[in-house]
Chain A
Amino acid sequence: MEEKDLINRILRGESALFAAIIKQTQGLVAQIVFKLVKNPEDRKDLAQDIYLKAYKNLSTFQFQSKLSTWIGQIAYNTCLAYLDKKKLVLPDGHDSAHENEETLLEYLSNKTLSSTDNETEQLLFRAELAELIQAALDTLPPMYRLLITLYHYEELSYDEMSAITNLPVGTVKNYLFRARKALKNRLLKNYSNEIL
């Protein structure tokens, strides 16, 4: 069913169809809520709150963006209001490179090179690295975590991210650049702890 038909039918009283909208968009909403909010109980309340708001305000949706972007926007704003209340920190942007960056990179490079003899060992290392990346991502400020997730894992465009976060595209790109750099630095830091 077309998005527009679906919405019009819900607005005409077929509220049971709203379930389809939740199913379509809850992946993105989960990403936003999980990246911005740590507490599981609060996540649960926020997720419900987001969809009840979306239902209540569905008639104000102007079809200027994808419905998922609009609901993403509601999710972001709802979480942000919660973050403000709890005074959680947003980007600091001061993540310095590891002092032994060159050595660490060399080491990593040798481990991940496809020419490495032992294939099993390499696969194991890559799985380990994926875990290290996840752990490093979890230590980033919520905004950085979110932007990396939306861009690299949910594959949203800069415009969509800009609409969701209500930040100018330039700011989104700038934060994203800083987020990647911070992630790389945290990863190398974690990795150096691992191998030392």
Chain B
Amino acid sequence: MNKEHLSDSELQEYSLNGENCPPQFNEHIQSCNFCRQKAELYQLMFSSEMKPEAPIFDFDLTQTVMRQLPVPQSTALEKSYTIYWVGASVFLSAGALIYLIFMTSRGFLFGKITPMTLGISITTFLAIFAVLGIDIFQKHTKQMKVLQSELQQLGSLAV
């Protein structure tokens, strides 16, 4: 056995970082039972075999935290977009209606359009705008719902 025992820090270095150790560590350990056993104990203590089970929380942390987050901004955003769409539809419809009444009443004054034609025209245009407006609103609501559920799925699936 050469010289005194390896220090604890040398033994740890040898056990956990063997290949980068000075060769004299190895020489000593080969010839000294005490140091070899200590080094083996360090190796065994931190081997994967001795690794304790990882702790886990005994409640659903994800759900508990997600419930406490402030209301998602996307909902607020969705509402502001909805208002924008409905507003734009109403505005466009009203503009078109005024224009239509103006144009047809001029024609009516000049006797080119009968009251019957005027009535039919106004009803038709009103119907078209109503259908368009409702369609835009429904499409928008649907898209927002799909987007929201996709997000929730992504959130719960992604690991």
Contact = CB atoms under 8 A, between A and B. Distances in A.
Interface of A: 1, 6, 12-20, 22-24, 26-27, 30-31, 34, 40, 43-44, 47-48, 51-52, 55, 102, 105-106, 108-109, 112, 126, 129-130, 133-134, 137, 152-153, 177, 180-181, 183-184, 187
A184 B41 contact: yes
B156 A112 contact: no
Contacts of A14: 72, 74, 151
A17 B52 contact: no
Contacts of A43: 57
Interface in B18-52: 33-34, 37-38, 40-42, 44-46, 49-52
A109 B34 CA distance: 10
A126 B156 CA distance: 39
B156 A19 contact: yes
A129 B52 contact: no
A48 B38 contact: no
Nearest to A107: B37
Contacts of B62: 19, 22-23, 26
Nearest to B73: A13
B120 interface: no
Interface stretch (B63-71, B87-95, B97-105, B121-129): B63-71
Contact of A108 (B37, B65, B69, B155): B37
A35 B85 CA distance: 54
A105 B57 contact: no
A47 B57 contact: yes
A40 B59 CA distance: 11
Interface of B: 8-9, 12, 33-34, 37-38, 40-42, 44-46, 49-52, 54-59, 61-62, 64-66, 68-70, 72-74, 77, 151-152, 154-156, 158-159
Contacts, number: 122
A44 B50 CA distance: 27
Given A23-B62, A52-B65, A108-B41, 17 more contacts: A13-B77, A15-B70, A15-B73, A16-B66, A16-B152, A17-B154, A17-B158, A22-B61, A27-B56, A40-B58, A51-B65, A112-B40, A126-B49, A152-B51, A177-B8, A183-B45, A184-B41
A105 B72 contact: no
A20 B159 CA distance: 5
19 contacts: A12-B73, A13-B73, A13-B74, A14-B72, A15-B72, A15-B74, A16-B152, A16-B154, A16-B155, A26-B62, A48-B61, A52-B65, A52-B68, A52-B69, A177-B8, A177-B9, A180-B12, A180-B45, A184-B38
A65 B56 CA distance: 24
Nearest to B75: A13
B50 A130 contact: yes
A20 B12 contact: no
A15 to B, nearest CB: 4
Contacts of B73: 12-13, 15
Given A48-B65, A180-B12, A26 B57 contact: yes
B158 A181 contact: no
Given A20-B159, A177-B9, A187 B65 contact: no
Contacts of B74: 13-15
